Chain A
Amino acid sequence: GNSVTQMEGPVTLSEEAFLTINCTYTATGYPSLFWYVQYPGEGLQLLLKATKADDKGSNKGFEATYRKETTSFHLEKGSVQVSDSAVYFCALSASGGYQKVTFGTGTKLQVIP
């Protein structure tokens, strides 16, 4: 079946540090890939997405590139802020049929001033 594997957290960074959160997936066909974010006390919301190989999703300074050859969709940001502290979930939506979204376990990011 489809699955998503994320790096274990928590990740603690100083403000303005570079962020990478690794995500790899297993799926048949050509899934769409997503990063969702859950800020403290809020519901999950879409951060960015990519729908085909080599696409780059970007939003709020975050980027992720759909790498089919390595089945990866790593999240990156060049300079994190305290306000980026949240839990980040990598997810995929399988090709064919309806949109069942499979999520990873989430990675908690804490940015300290």
Chain B
Amino acid sequence: GAGVSQSPSNKVTEKGKDVELRCDPISGHTALYWYRQSLGQGLEFLIYFQGNSAPDKSGLPSDRFSAERTGGSVSTLTIQRTQQEDSAVYLCASSADRGRNEKLFFGSGTQLSVL
């Protein structure tokens, strides 16, 4: 596609429910990242994928959070038993390779609200 696509753009859920957030990276981009942006906070790193593997999961806040990537393309971030503190904008980004000078292309994010 032309850019990184995330869905849904907005998600309202009840505390304790599970949610799935989807990211479609730019075609051919091997690296994929998930970040979380909370009000008044910076971008908090969650997880990084190179291809289908995730060499760095160090940012996942708890075992309620998991992510997978299939076919070296689409990624899904799953949050189980959502809590109010999970409310944030979840951003996905992709880049062409693992080089540290490579710029990230961001999606518009999913605004998650946990009531």
Complex contacts, B67 vs chain A, CB 8 Å? none
From 1 to 56 in chain A, residues with beta carbon under 8 angstroms from any chain B beta carbon are 4, 31-32, 34, 36, 42-46, 49, 51
Chain A positions within 8 Å of B93 at CB level: 44
Interface with B: A64-72, A77-85, A98-106, which one? Answer: A98-106
Report chain B residues within 8 Å CB of A100.
Answer: 45, 48, 56
CB distance B103 to A98 under 8 Å?
A: no
Q: Within 8 Å CB of A44, what residues of B?
A: 43, 91, 93, 104, 106
Size category of the B interface is 20 to 34
Complex alpha-carbon distance, A4 and B43, angstroms: 11
Interface pair B41/A105, CB less than 8 Å apart:
yes
B71 at the A interface (CB under 8 A): no
Q: Which of A43, A93, A101, A103 contacts B107 (CB 8 A)?
A: A43
Which of A46, A94, A95 lies at the interface centre, i.e. has the most chain B CB atoms within 10 A of its CB?
Answer: A46
Residues A32 and B42 in contact, CB atoms below 8 Å apart: no
Query: CA separation between A89 and B42, bound complex, in Å?
Result: 8
CB pair A103–B43 under 8 Å, yes or no, is yes
CA distance A89 to B37 in the complex (A): 12
Does residue B90 face the partner (Cβ distance < 8 Å to A)?
A: no
| Bound-complex Cα distance A91 to B43 (A) | 10
A99 touches B95 (CB 8 A): yes
Does A93 lie within 8 Å of B106, measured CB to CB?
no
Set B45, B95, B106: member contacting A43, Cβ < 8 A: B106
Q: Which residues of chain B have a CB within 8 Å of any CB of chain A? A: 3-4, 31, 33, 35, 40-43, 45, 48, 50, 55-56, 91, 93, 95, 98-109
List 16 A-B residue pairs with CB atoms under 8 Å apart, sorted by A's residue number: A36-B106, A43-B4, A43-B91, A43-B106, A43-B109, A44-B93, A44-B106, A46-B104, A89-B43, A93-B101, A95-B100, A98-B50, A98-B56, A103-B42, A103-B43, A106-B43
Which residues of A approach B to under 8 Å, CB–CB? 4, 31-32, 34, 36, 42-46, 49, 51, 89, 91, 93-95, 98-106
7 tightest CB-CB pairs across the interface, nearest first?
A105-B42, A103-B43, A44-B106, A93-B100, A46-B103, A43-B106, A99-B100
